[in-house]
Amino acid sequence: MVSINGLGDLWDKLLGAQPDPPPLLVLVTAVVALVVVATRLPWRVARNAVTIAHEGGHALAALLTGRRLHGIRLHSDTSGLTLSAGRPTGPGMILTLLAGYVAPSLVGLAGAWLLGGNRITLLLWLAVVLLLAMLVLIRNVFGVLSLLVTGGVVLAVSWYAAPQVQAAFAWTGVWFLLLGGVRPVVELQRLRSRGRMPQSDADQLARLTPFPALFWVTVFALVNLLALAVGAALLAGPILTDAGLTI
């Protein structure tokens, strides 16, 4: 049986703030994340995390707008599919389509806000909880394995790793979501310009609204770039503090 004192210690660990990371850690993790996003093979592997956030955004928006969620499929080519039922038009469908491409960056922004308050443990445990919640919605084997591996890595780091390793892992992950949220939008427009994604989220939004697909691609890009700018300012707090500046 877990004692009240033990629960109190666990609660304090979860909600407590960790020390400020060294400014060098913030810079190095940003560079590592940028290299992963910018290079082909690392991006090909790490993009699965962006796909998880993308499909999670669709699923959450569908649930919040009253649509019936049938499940999520994640594929080995880093694509994904979220199936929901409800009105094929209207605000619910529009918000569900809109949520996918902006979800990774918004998740990254939420993570940056937590790291701005040095809530590293809380961030890692929230990530595990969200991945477990999403797991019950997965409808294919690769998707289950992808979430189990991702959640297992996050859980292992949060439970066994030294505080410095946890900090490096958390800052790298959040930088990756902020930076990695921008690249799929660029890829989307590149593929659209070649006529290779006629059923993209942007094209479906164009059919449901008076605005063309390029408008929605621009919306995705602006939201993600704004999230990157604000998130970067939050993550750069230790560097600014070290330089005697404030955000």
Q: What is the pLDDT of residues 42-56, one digit of tens each?
A: 999 999 999 999 999
Q: Which of 187, 182, 209, 183 is nearest to 197 (CA)?
A: 187
Question: What CA–CA distance (Å, rounded) separates 115 from 211?
Answer: 37
For 86: left if phi > 0, alpha if psi spans -120 to 50, otherwise beta; the answer is: left
Give the max Cα distance, the chain: 62
Question: What CA–CA distance (Å, rounded) separates 145 from 138?
Answer: 10
Q: What is the pLDDT of residues 110-150, one digit of tens each?
A: 999 999 999 999 999 999 999 999 999 999 999 999 999 99
Q: Which of 217, 225, 213 is nearest to 181 (CA)?
A: 225
Whether 72 and 138 have beta carbons less than 8 Å apart is answered as yes
Q: What is the pLDDT of residues 213-228, one digit of tens each?
A: 999 999 999 999 999 9
DSSP 138: B
Q: Which of 8, 42, 66, 18 is nearest to 165 (CA)?
A: 18
pTM summary value? 0.91
Handedness of CA 72, 153, 77, 99 (dihedral sign): positive
